Amino acid sequence: MSQVFSEETHRNLLARIPHCTGREVADWLRTVEEGPALFRFEEKVSWLRHEHNLAYGHAKALIHEYDLRRAARKFL
């Protein structure tokens, strides 16, 4: 899992997603979870961008957050 943004930039992008998309981050994370079984980071970003018309930065932030949360679940 690669760090795609600084922590501050990542948090700022996540905070703006509801305003820019009209959907909460948790809703987007469910969309990723229920989406196609893609393995590579950039494949997931591309899918969000093309299937849901998201900006590149927002798609990257969502996939990065999804990966962080998925990794955290493995340690619980």
Phi, psi of 40 (to 5 degrees): -85, 145
- Tell me how far CA of residue 33 lies from CA of 12, 26, 30, in angstroms: 22, 10, 5
Amino acid at 65: E
| pLDDT reported for residue 1 | 44
Q: Which two tokens stand for residue 40?
A: 């590579």
Domain extent listing, the chain: 7-75
For the stretch 22-72, pLDDT in tens is 999 999 999 999 999 999 999 999 999 999 999 999 999 999 999 999 998
